[in-house]
Structures are given as structure tokens and as C-alpha cells.
Copies of this chain bind each other. A is one copy, B any other.
Amino acid sequence: MAHEVSPLKPAEIPSLPPVDGVRMAVAEAGIKYKGRKDVLLMVFDPGTTVAGVLTRSKCPSAPVEWCRDKLSGGEARALVVNSGNANAFTGMKGRDAVATTARVAAEAVGCEVAEVFLASTGVIGEPLDPAPFETVLGGLAKQAKPDGFADAASAIMTTDTFPKRATAKVDIDGTEVTICGIAKGAGMIAPDMATMLGFIVTDAPIAAPALHKLLKRLTRDSFNAITVDGDTSTSDTVLLFATGKAAERGAPLIDDAKDKRLKAFRRALGTVMGELARMVARDGEGATKFVTVEVGGAKSKKSAKRIAMAIANSPLVKTAVAGEDANWGRVVMAVGKAGEPAERDRLAIWFGDIRVAVDGERDPEYSEKTVSAYMKTPEIVIRVDLGIGDGKARVWTCDLTHGYIAVNADYRS
């Protein structure tokens, strides 16, 4: 399961500062991997609110069903995450494992069972034995400390080649609050909750309904704007926890997502989520190129997003990028197959700043040599203007390479 580190790993992945009211610890429970941490416990102070966005899969994992049910309560005291086994398609055994884990965590932390949130990632269809959780959670609750984000981000990895972390500090009405997020994901990444797992914590005091609106809105242009292979996981989970501890330093309680005092916070949260999401695309299985697809001039924002995703998910576009080939004909193909309003003879396409097609045909001005040089760079921008409206969207993906085949043709066996 050890893969070479993605060449697209960001030069700098920030260290995360503590967040008031959040403690954590990790353990080696031997769920599937040997010799590495595979269980994370996060503990939240009383009063922590929670919001979540979960996979739209019709065959969700047991932990996803658990979270969907418990999110309505809006309060959280613990998060338990394991890697190695997704506890998906495990029937009644899966539900029992989830209930047992939540009970053990609630005892360890001293909270209600309904305040425990769970996420699992790894192989689908193998029963998850809850015994290792019973062994480790008590100890983890005791060891939990504020500065454990580095270990936490590593413990939730599966085929990831680098941990994903992002952070921001921002003012709410004159009081500084902190946002920290970790994520994992490298494959089975697709538009409908393109996450795998993402956990974001803040000490801002925000009521659960407002927190939910913020998260849902910001997921659209971050975790739901990336794709690796168009495959949607049974386990995708993004949870946002707000401890409210900054209230002790004077931050006001916010109960409306549209509250003007949230302006900077909203932007910072969007940035943190976007950074985490883009790191997932950068760590796409076998990726050698990070690809930004920008679509403008579409009939609507929704239409632009669908066209951008059709381009980003096209195996032929992705292999062309892998081959450093400015094959814009395949971009035309992908626009055409999206089924969205388009007029061939108004279409224009750019690779980076180089316009290669305009008015429905090859741009007579473009130099094959210049565009070939551009295609050799590791970060490629494909831009399409449909010329029929003002809808626009931006999504991120990676190329499709021999590495993807190598990772996925022998993942389980």
C-alpha cells in the first residue's frame, strides 16, 4: 500500500495550531494495516455544534447512516475515525459495529452516544470488528491533547501519499478565531461529495443550523468541485465542528449563516475547504499533473459545472494531459457529451493562456510549439468559453496515468 509521494504535493503543508476546545489522539489498532496508526479520536468540549455533508450514494456505509441520523441533534463531543476498513456493505454487523464503537467512545469521553460521530475508510464489504476500538478508545480519551493534528491527518490516510491539512485565523467581530481542517482521499473521488473524509474544527461560536448552511454552501465549490475518477464513495463525509470557545474571549454567538460579522470567517472557511479539496486532487492516484478546468459563458452556473465535470472526468482528456498532448479535440468531445446547451461555432478553448480553438475551429494563430511547452508543466489550466451566457464554474482534477491503473488493479488482492 506504500506508494511514491505524489509529485503534485504542495511545497508547503501547514502545521496546524491548537483549536480551543479540541483535543485528539491516535492509536495503532491493527484494523488492517500493520505498523501504523489507524484510529483517530477527537474530543470536543461541551457546547460544540456540528454540521455535516455526506455521500449521496444509495449504498452508504454504516458510519454514514449513523452520522446522518445524529446530525439532527447538532451537538458533538467525539469523533472516531478509522482507516483500513470502510464498514460499508456490511449489513447488520456493520450497524452493530457502529453502535458498539459509539457506546465505547461515549463512555471514554463521558458524553451521550448521540454526540459521537464516526467515519471509516478503506475496503468495502469486509465486516469491521469493533473489538480494537474497545481496546484503544479509553486510553485515547485520556491521552488526547490539543496539538495532535499532524498525527490525526496521517492516521486517516489510505492510498493517500501525503497528509492533507489547512488552517486559517480570522476575526469575528474583533475576536480572533481559528479554523483547522484535515482530509484524506486519493481515489473514488467524484462530484457528489467528492471528499472521502474531511474534518474541520473551529472555536467560533456558531449555532448548528447556521453551521450547516455555511458548510453546504462552501462544499459546492470545494469538496464537490474535485474529481479523480468520477467514482463516488459509499463513505464520503465532511464534518465541521465549532466548539464556541472563542465566546470566552468575546466572540459573539452567531445563529444566522448570513450574519455580516461572518464575512471574513466564511471566506476563510471556504479557503481552508478549497485547499483541502485541491490537495485531494493533487494526491489523485497516479497523478502527475494537477488540472484546473474553468468553464465560462455557459447558460447557467449549474450548466457550467456539469460541462467542467464532463471535461474533468473524461478518460480521453485525462490521458491526453498525461501524455502532455494539447489534444483540444477531446475537450470539444467532452463539451459535446455533457448534454448541456452549447453552440459548437461559439466555442473557444485555451490551454493556460494559449487559445487553441475559437469560433468552432482551430485558432489559426496558435503555435503548436508554445502549447507543447506548456503541456510539459505540472499544473495545467484548461479553459472553455461557451459564448452563450454568463454561467461559470471551476473544478479540479488530475491526469489519468499508468500509476492509477497500478494502484487500482491490485488494491485489494
Chain copies in the assembled complex? 2
Q: Which residue in chain B gives the minimum CB-CB distance to A375? A: B413
When distances are taken between beta carbons in the complex, the residues of chain B under 8 Å from A360 are: 89, 91
Q: Is the CB of A325 within 8 A of B412?
A: yes
Q: Which residue in chain B gives the minimum CB-CB distance to A286? A: B405
Q: Is the CB of A58 within 8 A of B330?
A: no
Q: How far is the CA of A404 from the CA of B20 in the complex (A)?
A: 51
Quote the shortest CB–CB distance from A361 to chain B (angstroms): 3
Beyond A90-B362, A125-B362: 20 further Cβ-contacts under 8 Å? Answer: A59-B333, A86-B329, A89-B344, A89-B360, A91-B345, A91-B359, A125-B328, A125-B329, A125-B357, A127-B362, A188-B333, A192-B339, A232-B333, A315-B404, A319-B404, A319-B409, A320-B412, A325-B412, A325-B413, A405-B405
Quote the shortest CB–CB distance from A346 to chain B (angstroms): 11
For chain A, what secondary structure do more than half of its interface residues adopt (helix, strand, loop), or is it mixed?
loop
Q: Is the CB of A405 within 8 A of B322?
A: yes
A341 interface contact, C-beta 8 A: yes
Closest 7 CB pairs of A and B: A124-B329, A91-B361, A323-B409, A57-B336, A59-B336, A319-B408, A232-B337
Q: Is the CB of A322 within 8 A of B89?
A: no
Specify which of B59, B187, B402, B408 is in contact with A347 (CB 8 Å cutoff): B59
Specify which of B58, B88, B125, B400 is in contact with A338 (CB 8 Å cutoff): B58
21 A-B contacts, Cβ less than 8 Å apart? A56-B339, A57-B333, A58-B336, A58-B337, A58-B338, A58-B341, A59-B333, A59-B336, A59-B342, A59-B347, A60-B344, A93-B361, A124-B330, A126-B329, A231-B330, A233-B333, A315-B404, A322-B409, A323-B413, A401-B405, A404-B405
Quote the shortest CB–CB distance from A18 to chain B (angstroms): 36
Q: Which residues of A contact B (CB under 8 A)?
A: 55-60, 86, 88-94, 123-127, 187-188, 190, 192, 229-234, 313-316, 319-320, 322-325, 327-330, 332-342, 344-345, 347, 357, 359-362, 372, 400-402, 404-406, 408-413
Specify which of B58, B313, B332 is in contact with A59 (CB 8 Å cutoff): B332
